[in-house]
């Protein structure tokens, strides 16, 4: 939703948006506070009124994007945390299940700011342990935890045949993560996920399930 006409953009939001774009374009290490201030239309001193330094600004950029990602997923009835209610997955079948699964992955492929965040983290992850941990949490570990929770509940409900839920989570998320790492555009990723889900269901669906 855009802001009302005449309402000035929040300065911190503007700074974070410009910082993310520059981090993606130039890399975190090569981007200076002066660069970010100039892109934001302000002096260095004015930027320091909002953030004490580049690390604090980076932390704010990441936090804002994670908040955006969580909001997008929840708006689509997709799980954000392993403890979230999985009824959308347990009760869905056919096209409705596909819609929920696609909704859970679309922001990773199709949102420009999340794409910039992934680009920044990928570029810096091998040089910074903290960034490596962030990258793994956002794109690998949390999706696996969520998938494991969903599959455990599907097994318990009798929708899926008994199996190793952790292994099943890796079997499902692994190919989708590979498509993301390959830079697959969303229309192609969407078609791939649909085929992948159908094959995965055929493999894991309980025998008595239609």
Residue 35's pLDDT is what? 96
Share of the chain above pLDDT 70, in %: 93
- Ramachandran sector of residue 152 (left: φ over 0; alpha: ψ -120 to 50; beta: rest): alpha
Q: Is residue 160 classed as helix, strand or coil in its secondary structure?
A: strand
Positions in the chain whose pLDDT score sits under 50: 1-8
pTM recorded for the entire structure: 0.86
Q: Let me know if domain 7-60 sits in CATH 1.10.10.60.
A: yes
Residue 208's pLDDT is what? 62
> Which residues have C-beta within 8 Å of that of residue 42, sequence separation ≥ 6?
11
Residue 188's pLDDT is what? 98
Residue 10 C-alpha from the chain's centroid: 24
Q: State pLDDT tens for residues 153-166.
A: 889 988 889 999 99
Three-state SS letters, 63-124: HHHHHHHHHHHHHCCCCCCCCCCCHHHHCCCHHHHHHHHHHHHHHHHHCHHHHHHHHHHHHH
Residue 8's pLDDT is what? 46
Q: Where in the chain is the domain with CATH 1.10.10.60?
A: 7-60
Q: Which of 104, 129, 131 is nearest to 117 (CA)?
A: 131
Contact, 44 vs 50, CB < 8 A?
no
Q: State pLDDT tens for residues 45-76.
A: 899 999 999 999 999 999 999 999 999 998 98
Residue 95's pLDDT is what? 76
Residue 177's pLDDT is what? 97
């Amino acid at each position: 939703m855009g802001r009302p006409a005449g309402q000035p953009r929040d300065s911190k939001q503007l700074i974070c948006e410009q910082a993310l774009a520059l981090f993606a374009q130039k890399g975190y290490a090569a981007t200076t506070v002066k660069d970010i201030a100039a892109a934001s239309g302000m002096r260095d001193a004015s930027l320091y009124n909002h953030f004490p330094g580049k690390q604090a600004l980076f932390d704010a950029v990441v936090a804002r994007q994670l908040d955006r990602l969580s909001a997008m997923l929840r708006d689509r009835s997709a799980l954000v945390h392993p403890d979230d209610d999985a009824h959308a997955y347990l009760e869905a079948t056919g096209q409705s299940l596909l819609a929920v699964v696609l909704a859970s992955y679309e922001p990773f492929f199709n949102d420009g700011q999340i794409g910039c965040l992934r680009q920044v983290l990928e570029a810096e992850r091998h040089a910074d342990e903290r960034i490596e941990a962030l990258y793994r949490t956002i794109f690998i570990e949390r999706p696996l935890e969520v998938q494991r929770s969903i599959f455990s509940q599907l097994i318990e409900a009798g929708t899926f045949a008994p199996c190793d839920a952790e292994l099943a989570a890796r079997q499902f998320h692994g190919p989708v993560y590979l498509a993301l790492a390959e830079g697959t555009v969303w229309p192609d990723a969407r078609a791939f996920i649909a085929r992948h889900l159908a094959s995965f269901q055929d493999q894991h669906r309980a025998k008595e399930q239609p």
